[in-house]
């Protein structure tokens, strides 16, 4: 017979309080969260991203879960807005008590949410690119599958040179990545004898014609568009009306097919776009194509697919379904050798059999630096022709 006294109950309670992660790891279903832009500027991507995670969770649950435990997914909308993102993150952390938040898209949202995550020991996986994100004092509680702005800025600068431009202007709203982007575009452009200037605009204005006229007085031969889809749409109309006939280069996430279809072909014809490329031709990419129902899934859906697979395997290899367990074990399943796997179901089986796994995903190898950045990825170069995005190359 076990006799419980007030003293033993207090000792037991203190022990549980001292190890909250252990309690969460052993009790009930595993709760995970997505925080994607279901609305706002990132609205074309967030719903597909969340659905991709749900598809993986359903597949893993049907195969027996993570070490026999079912996974519950809670999806929230950050509205592509930092304040809304903080409110949604608070719910995921305080009410739903998720072990991880996946898929924050806008860098401003990720920057606002990240401190809440490391303070609550909730693991954060993001697709945001601003250099400043992994420079935050997150102490390992954050990874991102998106290349940082240092790498993206250099690629943009090199492409400006390749397109034969010598005088560039970068037009963008003030975002966490704007200054880093232009700073890293400069070296390849200046090394080729060119120059680049920056003009910051108010993304909420219904017309940007004044800003466009100011830029055109500098006589650029290329304008690089650094905004999101809504303000880029306004900007493209005003650039066309102003009669600019030079080259245009933009982020592929802003000049997407939905936006292209909403504008006359004359406005979008010839725009060059650049984006991190998914790992096309791999079995993981083929899985995302089936999940998303398209032959050309966007890079963010590919990245969050990788995030959920990595999270599930990290919890299994550490036998710890908490944020701490993910933090401590995510690199053990993503790099360093082992059985090559491209999905959590196969990975969980291998882990259960005592084998080491090394995940290669839909967005690439998913090898991370100590700061949480991916080490490298390929980029996708496209051009708008006849109202459609046409692939030039992947390199």
Give tens-digit pLDDT for 170-195: 999 999 999 999 999 999 999 999 99
Task: Output 345 or 176, whichever has higher pLDDT.
Answer: 345
Residue 300 near residue 38, CB atoms below 8 Å = no
Give the residue-averaged pLDDT of 240-255. Answer: 96
The pair of structure tokens assigned to 172 is 């963008």
Q: How confident is the model at residue 11 (pLDDT cuts 50, 70, 90)?
A: very low
Give tens-digit pLDDT for 101-149: 999 999 999 999 999 999 999 999 999 999 999 999 999 999 999 999 9
Calpha distance 342→333 (Å, rounded)? 11
Q: Does the structure show a pLDDT above 70 at 370?
A: yes
CATH of domain 149-276+378-394: 3.40.50.2300
pTM of the full structure: 0.83
pLDDT score of 72: 98
Give the residue-averaged pLDDT of 358-378. Answer: 94
| Backbone phi, psi, residue 105, to 5° | -105, -60
The percentage of residues in the chain with a pLDDT greater than 70, rounded to a whole number, is 93
Calpha distance 116→126 (Å, rounded)? 14
DSSP one-letter code for 33: E
The CATH 3.40.50.2300 domain(s) of the chain lie at: 6-148+281-359, 149-276+378-394
Q: How confident is the model at residue 7 (pLDDT cuts 50, 70, 90)?
A: very low
Calpha distance 158→169 (Å, rounded)? 14
Give the residue-averaged pLDDT of 35-64. Answer: 97
Give the residue-averaged pLDDT of 204-213. Answer: 97
pLDDT score of 36: 98
CATH of domain 6-148+281-359: 3.40.50.2300
């Amino acid at each position: 017979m076990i006799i419980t006294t007030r003293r033993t109950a207090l000792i037991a309670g203190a022990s549980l309080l001292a190890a909250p992660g252990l309690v969460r790891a052993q009790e009930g279903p595993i709760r995970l969260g997505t925080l994607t832009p279901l609305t706002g500027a990132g609205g074309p991507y967030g719903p597909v991203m969340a659905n991709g995670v749900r598809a993986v969770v359903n597949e893993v649950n049907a195969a027996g879960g993570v070490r026999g435990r079912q996974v519950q997914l809670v999806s929230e909308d950050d509205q592509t807005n930092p304040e809304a993102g903080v409110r949604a993150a608070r719910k995921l952390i305080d009410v739903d008590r998720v072990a991880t938040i996946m898929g924050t898209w806008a860098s401003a949202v990720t920057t606002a949410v990240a401190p809440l995550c490391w303070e609550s020991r909730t693991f954060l996986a993001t697709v945001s690119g601003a250099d400043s994100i992994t420079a935050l004092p997150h102490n390992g509680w954050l990874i991102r599958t998106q290349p940082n702005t240092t790498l993206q800025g250099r690629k943009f600068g090199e492409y400006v040179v390749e397109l034969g431009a010598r005088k560039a202007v970068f037009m963008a709203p003030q975002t966490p990545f704007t200054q880093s982007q232009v700073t890293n575009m400069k070296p390849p452009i200046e090394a080729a004898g060119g120059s680049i200037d920056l003009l910051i605009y108010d993304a909420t204005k219904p017309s940007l014609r004044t800003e466009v006229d100011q830029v055109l007085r500098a006589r650029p031969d290329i304008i690089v568009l650094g905004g999101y889809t809504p303000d880029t749409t306004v900007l493209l109309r005003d650039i066309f009306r102003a009669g600019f006939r030079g080259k245009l280069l933009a982020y592929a996430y802003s000049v997407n097919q939905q936006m292209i279809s909403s504008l006359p072909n004359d406005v979008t014809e010839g725009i060059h776009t650049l984006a991190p490329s998914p790992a096309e031709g791999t079995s993981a990419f083929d899985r995302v194509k089936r999940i998303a129902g398209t032959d050309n899934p966007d890079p963010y859906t590919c990245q969050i697919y990788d995030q959920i697979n990595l999270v599930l395997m990290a919890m299994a290899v550490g036998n710890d379904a908490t944020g701490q367990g993910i933090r401590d074990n995510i690199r053990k399943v993503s790099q360093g050798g082992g059985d090559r796997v491209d999905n959590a179901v196969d990975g969980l089986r291998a882990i259960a059999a005592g084998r080491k796994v090394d995940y290669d995903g839909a967005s690439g190898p998913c090898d991370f630096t100590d700061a949480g950045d991916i080490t490298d990825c390929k980029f996708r170069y496209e051009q708008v022709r006849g109202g459609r995005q046409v692939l030039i190359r992947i390199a």
